[in-house]
Amino acid sequence: MTDRQPFIFDTDPGQDDAVAILFALGAREQIDLLALTTVAGNVPVSYTTRNARVICDWAGRQDVPVYAGSDRPLLRPLVTAEEVHGKTGLDGVEIHDPVTPQQDGHAVDFIIDTLRAAAPASVTLCPVGPLTNIALALAKAPDIVAGIKEIVLMGGTYFEAGNITPAAEFNIYVDPHAAEIVLGAGVPITMLPLDVTHKACITGSRIDKLRSLPNRAGKLVADILTSYARFDTQKFGLEGGPLHDPCVVAYLIKPELFKGRQVNVQVETASALTLGATVVDWWGTTGLPANVNWITEIDAEGFYAQLTDSLATLP
Ligand code: BDR
Ligand code: CA
């Protein structure tokens, strides 16, 4: 197991977060998960932390460190998404009292300590919830940029409409001020927005394939996705639920499944109408320097093949 890419997964599980975490745990030959850090988003942080621990139990990975992080956005009141993910955050499956421990200390301090101890440009940060923890770490310890290889995040929308407001995607909308800090950090950033995740929808036959895996993980993911698909098919008329957060894991393992463009991206933090909108300078009209690799294309078949193969390695 050489050259495994070290990364921190910052998450608000969340049904698609849960699938992403299992995906990452199943891909341990390729990627090295240093910790799960949790944030308030889809549900409050006490739930996202509990859920992260439950998911590690499912994968038989009680050794994965789980750190609880921010319980609310930097400046705004918390907006949650129980209507999508259910009251527990993991609708569709039973939740037990987790065995995987919660680590002492705050997620933000773990991120800072880890990056300070890391070799230059060596650790990838993967936020798939509101960017509060990452922004706080950057604000508290700006020197940590030296340890960051890249930030690969799920968030934003430009060519696709918003999913929480007409203009904005959920993760960026919930904490737009944190997003502004992250986008201005001066580190390499790849964003997987709704523009691409809406091209990675789960379908009935893909769920069937996962359910037929000879392990528990396949059945859990199939149950979660069966419940998850209902909301998106009804609300957005999609063929199935978009696997937003698992796209980040697939990008880490096989970036060649994706295509994007280096562009300047800024986030709206003032307007009530378009709060959290990600404004992408697709044609370079502003002359501002590119700060993001903005992904728009995915090989969906390749993505689902990778997801299925990784889940197959779990108990
Ligand atoms: C994002 O919002 C959350 O509900 C999902 O987990 C995903 O990270 C999609 O807009
Ligand atoms: Ca998420």
Residue 108 CA to ligand 1 centre (angstroms): 21
Find all residues with CB under 8 Å of 177, minimum gap 6, and list them.
Answer: 73, 74, 75, 76, 135, 269
Mutate to test the pocket of ligand 1, among 16, 160, 249 (most ligand atoms within 8 A of CB): 16
Strands 5-11, 123-127: pairing is parallel
User: Within 10 A of 15 (CB to CB), how many other CB atoms are there?
Assistant: 30
Domain at 5-311, CATH class? alpha beta
Which residue, among 175, 252, 225, 257, has the nearest Cα to 9 in the 3D structure?
A: 252
121-143 pLDDT tens trace = 999 999 999 999 999 999 999 99
Average pLDDT over residues 283-305: 97
Bridge partners (DSSP) listed for residue 35: 8
Counting ligands in written order, the one closest to the CA of 195 is 1
Residue 14 CA to ligand 2 centre (angstroms): 6
Residue 298 corresponds to which tokens in the numbers above?
């995915």
Counting ligands in written order, the one closest to the CA of 86 is 1
- The C-alpha angle 186, 199, 312, rounded to 5 degrees, equals 90
Residue 54 to residue 100: CA distance in whole angstroms: 7
3-state secondary structure of 178: helix
Ion ligand 2 neighbours (CB, 5 A) are: 12, 14, 17, 128-129, 245
- Res. 117 pLDDT band, cuts 50 70 90: very high
- What pLDDT does residue 305 have? 96
The minimum-distance atom of ligand 1 relative to the CA of 17 is 6
Residue 185 CA to ligand 2 centre (angstroms): 21
Question: Comparing 84-88, 169-173, 306-310, which segment has the lowest mean pLDDT?
Answer: 84-88
Cis, bond preceding 41 (omega within 30 deg of 0):
no
User: Within 10 A of 193 (CB to CB), how many other CB atoms are there?
Assistant: 28
Residue 129 CA to ligand 2 centre (angstroms): 4
Q: What is the chain's mean pLDDT, rounded?
A: 96
- What pLDDT does residue 1 have? 46
Domain boundaries, the chain: 5-311
pLDDT more than 70, % of the chain: 99
Residue 150 to residue 159: CA distance in whole angstroms: 24
156-204 pLDDT tens trace = 999 999 999 999 999 999 999 999 999 999 999 999 999 999 999 999 9
- Residue 208 pLDDT > 50, yes or no? yes
43-82 pLDDT tens trace = 999 999 999 999 999 999 999 999 999 999 999 999 999 9
- Length of the chain equals 315
C-alpha count within 13 angstroms, C-beta hemisphere, residue 43: 23
46-55 pLDDT tens trace = 999 999 999 9
- What pLDDT does residue 209 have? 95
Cβ 265 vs Cβ 291: under 8 Å: yes
Counting ligands in written order, the one closest to the CA of 192 is 1
The model carries a pTM of: 0.97
Specify the higher pLDDT residue, 241 or 132.
Answer: 132
pLDDT more than 90, % of the chain: 92
**Is 244 known to be catalytic?**
yes
Bridge partners (DSSP) listed for residue 45: none
Q: Which of 96, 106, 198, 244 is catalytic?
A: 244
- Res. 234 pLDDT band, cuts 50 70 90: confident
Q: What residue ranges line ligand 1, CB within 6 angstroms?
A: 14, 16-17, 42, 81, 84, 128-129, 154, 163, 169-171, 244-245
Order the strands of the 66-67 sheet from edge to edge. 66-67, 31-38, 5-11, 123-127, 148-154, 189-192, 292-298, 258-267, 278-281
Phi, psi dihedral angles at 54 (to 5 degrees)? -60, -40
96-115 pLDDT tens trace = 999 999 999 999 999 999 99
- Res. 252 pLDDT band, cuts 50 70 90: very high
The minimum-distance atom of ligand 1 relative to the CA of 42 is 4
Mutate to test the pocket of ligand 1, among 170, 195, 196, 201 (most ligand atoms within 8 A of CB): 170
Cβ 74 vs Cβ 136: under 8 Å: yes
- What pLDDT does residue 189 have? 98
